[in-house]
């Protein structure tokens, strides 16, 4: 199970901007001064760092925003392995003693889980500036690198008279008929279920799993699940759903492509971190922390926002965000004030139980 496919979806959106595979590979080979794709596993050589990502256009965006400038400043080549640094893959690699990755993209709760099990090195906060990471995403074993939110998106034409603006509305299929869709791996959906008890912004933690699963079960037979941004987009196109809890990057794309037919609200959004983690025993050693520090630069994070429509993790990047990008940035004060921040510690402790209970409910109904 890929625990962090969010960024891969953001990258699929970037591909729509016109980057073909051939053009992308040509750019890597001809203009990026040695930055390269890692076609398979293998130990990193001297002056190289292996960055495990989710593949596709993520490699292009990471290279443009961070990799090219780091290579120019240090002479260290960044090799990208796009096979996907899932939690299980990191565990297996470290347990085998054959670690080939220096840096990985992981969820906040994954950073906590792998840190607790001894599979990650603690972040060197003498090299990485913890004050340049939005709290509470400066974890012991993971440094917040970007942000994204789960938001409520809806068919604005179907609900022209009264648009749904709260998670209570999302769960009200009488006043707001139509199908619903939530993420197959529960993130966002469980928080939405807890916040549906009231109309205002409320803290959904600690999540009561029985309550969350019970509320979601009441959406049946209207409830569908999605695993990719393209899948949820097609559900809206096919009109099999009228509302969804989905990543803000995909909601932004849907709103633009549908010319406003599909709208979304930041109200009740749940802000999650994307973290940079270092597998224990990584071949590049402490140089991995130098790369993380390089990626903290506000201008570089703003460029990553421009490429991916994700939010930054550095508060200085939030403050300096160009006006044209603020509508996409979940960390802007006017957007963040309407949201809650994900409790990564709760998910680290309860993910397995939540996954089992949710899967069982889907099979029963």
pLDDT single digits (tens) 44-71: 434 899 999 987 777 899 999 999 999 9
Percent of the chain topping pLDDT 90: 81
Q: For residue 108, give the nearest of 247, 355, 275 by alpha carbon.
A: 275
Looking at residue 311, what is its pLDDT? 97
Q: What is the mean pLDDT of residues 179-205?
A: 94
Query: Which carries the bigger pLDDT value, residue 46 or residue 72?
Result: 72
Q: Classify domain 6-147+272-336 at the CATH class level.
A: alpha beta
Lowest mean per-residue pLDDT among 22-31, 78-87, 154-163, 288-297 = 22-31
How many CA atoms, within 13 angstroms, populate the side-chain half-sphere of residue 184?
Answer: 13
Q: What is the pTM of this model?
A: 0.87
If pLDDT is split at 50, 70 and 90, which confidence band does 13 have? Answer: low
Query: Which carries the bigger pLDDT value, residue 55 or residue 121?
Result: 121
Looking at residue 8, what is its pLDDT? 53
pLDDT tens digits along 244-295 = 999 999 999 999 999 999 999 999 999 999 999 999 999 999 999 999 999 9
Cite the residue boundaries of each domain of the chain with CATH code 3.40.190.10.
Answer: 6-147+272-336, 148-271+340-364
Looking at residue 187, what is its pLDDT? 97
Alpha carbons 79 and 127: distance in angstroms, whole number: 21
Q: For residue 2, give the nearest of 67, 109, 85 by alpha carbon.
A: 85
CATH topology of domain 148-271+340-364: D-Maltodextrin-Binding Protein; domain 2 (3.40.190)
Q: Residue 116: which residues within 8 A CB-CB, separation 6 or more? A: 348
């Amino acid at each position: 199970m890929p625990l962090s496919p969010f960024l891969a979806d953001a990258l699929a959106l970037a591909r729509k901007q016109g980057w073909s595979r051939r053009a992308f590979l040509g750019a890597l080979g001809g203009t990026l001064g040695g930055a390269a794709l890692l076609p398979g596993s293998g130990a990193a050589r001297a002056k190289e760092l292996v960055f495990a990502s989710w593949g596709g256009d993520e490699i292009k965006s990471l290279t443009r925003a961070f990799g090219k400038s780091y290579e120019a400043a240090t002479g260290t080549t960044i090799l990208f392995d796009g096979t996907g640094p899932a939690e299980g893959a990191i565990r297996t690699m470290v347990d085998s003693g054959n670690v080939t990755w220096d840096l990985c993209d992981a969820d906040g709760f994954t950073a906590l889980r792998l840190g607790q099990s001894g599979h990650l090195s603690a972040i060197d906060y003498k090299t990485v500036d913890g004050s340049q990471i939005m709290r509470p995403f400066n974890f012991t074993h993971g440094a917040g690198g970007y942000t994204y939110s789960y938001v409520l998106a809806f068919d604005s034409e179907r609900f022209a008279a009264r648009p749904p603006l709260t998670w209570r509305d999302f769960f009200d299929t009488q006043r707001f008929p139509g199908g619903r869709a939530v993420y197959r791996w529960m993130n966002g959906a469980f928080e939405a279920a807890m916040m549906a008890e009231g109309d205002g912004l409320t803290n959904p933690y600690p999540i009561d799993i029985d309550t969350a699963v019970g509320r979601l079960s009441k959406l049946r037979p209207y409830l569908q699940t999605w695993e990719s941004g393209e899948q949820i987009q097609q559900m809206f196109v096919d009109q099999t759903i009228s509302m969804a809890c989905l990543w803000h990057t995909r909601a932004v794309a849907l709103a633009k492509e549908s010319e406003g037919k599909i709208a979304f609200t930041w109200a009740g959004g749940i802000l999650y971190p994307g973290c940079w983690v270092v597998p224990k025993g990584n071949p590049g050693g402490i140089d991995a922390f130098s790369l993380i520090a390089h990626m903290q630069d506000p201008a570089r994070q703003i460029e990553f926002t421009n490429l991916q429509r994700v939010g930054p993790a550095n508060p200085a990047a939030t403050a300096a965000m160009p006006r044209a990008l603020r509508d996409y940035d979940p960390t802007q004060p006017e957007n963040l004030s309407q949201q809650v921040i994900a409790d990564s510690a709760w998910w680290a402790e309860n993910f397995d139980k939540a996954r089992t209970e949710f899967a069982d409910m889907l099979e029963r109904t």
